[in-house]
Amino acid sequence: MYKRAIYWFKRDPLKNRIIKPGKGHEKIVLILKGKVRATGIWNGILTEGQAIHIVEEESLYFENLSSEETIYIIAGGHSEKEHHH
């Protein structure tokens, strides 16, 4: 089961927000509002309604490409092979 958290950031000063689950964890990131440039394990643009799955030591950096606030949800949990609860 995923733990849920809501994060957001504005164009400045938060640039290059890192998303990295860590060993034994995974995250799904869903863009609710705005547009972000993702660089790292995948390079491209994510817009409203798009999501990406990131596992363990993989990482992505997000940069807000909008002049407005960007809102996204990160749902994370343990990878099946590393489940320890």
Q: 76 pLDDT exceeds 90?
A: no
Whether residue 25 is contained in a domain is answered as yes
Domain region containing 47 = 3-80
Tell me the pLDDT band of 14, cut-offs 50, 70 and 90: low
pLDDT at 13 over 90: no
pLDDT of residue 8: 54
Indicate whether 85 belongs to any domain: no
Alpha-carbon gap, residue 29 to 11, rounded angstroms: 18
What is the tens place of the pLDDT at every residue in 19-41? 889 899 999 999 988 888 999 99
User: How much is the mean pLDDT over the chain?
Assistant: 80
CATH number at residue 64: 2.60.120.10
pLDDT of residue 11: 47
Query: What Rg, from alpha-carbon coordinates, does the chain have?
Result: 13
* pLDDT tier at 55, thresholds 50, 70, 90: very high
The amino acid occupying position 45 is: I
Total domains in the fold of the chain: 1
Which pTM was predicted? 0.76
| Bond prior to 21 in cis (omega within 30° of 0) | no
For residues 75 and 28, give the distance between their C-alpha atoms in angstroms, rounded to a whole number.
Answer: 5
In a domain, 57, yes or no: yes
What is the predicted pLDDT for the residue at 42?
A: 95
